[in-house]
Amino acid sequence: PYSYTYGVSDDYSKAAFNAAESSNGDGAVTGEYSVALPDGRTQHVKYTADHYNGYVADVTYEGVPVYPEVKAYAPKPAYAPAPYSA
């Protein structure tokens, strides 16, 4: 059996995540983790894993995604060399 937890939070880079997991010694594992996504939401995952059911995860999201404004594509004018004069 084992158990662990850890977390990271960095205001400068906006990195934020945490995790916790434990095992009962018979091969059954339960855990959860959360991570800040680039779109501003937080993803939460709670999971179990054992030799009978495999890995089973319940994934939820917190917050509303925010995306940067996409500017319309405007091609540059084609290159036209100056007329040749001798």
Query: Among 2-11, 43-52, 55-64, whose mean pLDDT is lowest?
Result: 2-11
**Higher-confidence residue: 35 or 14?**
35
Distance CA 47, CA 57 (A): 4
pLDDT at 45: 97
Whether residue 32 has pLDDT greater than 90: yes
Q: Which of 59, 14, 67 is nearest to 36 (CA)?
A: 14
Whether residue 84 has pLDDT greater than 90: no
Mean pLDDT of 56-60: 97
**Higher-confidence residue: 64 or 25?**
64
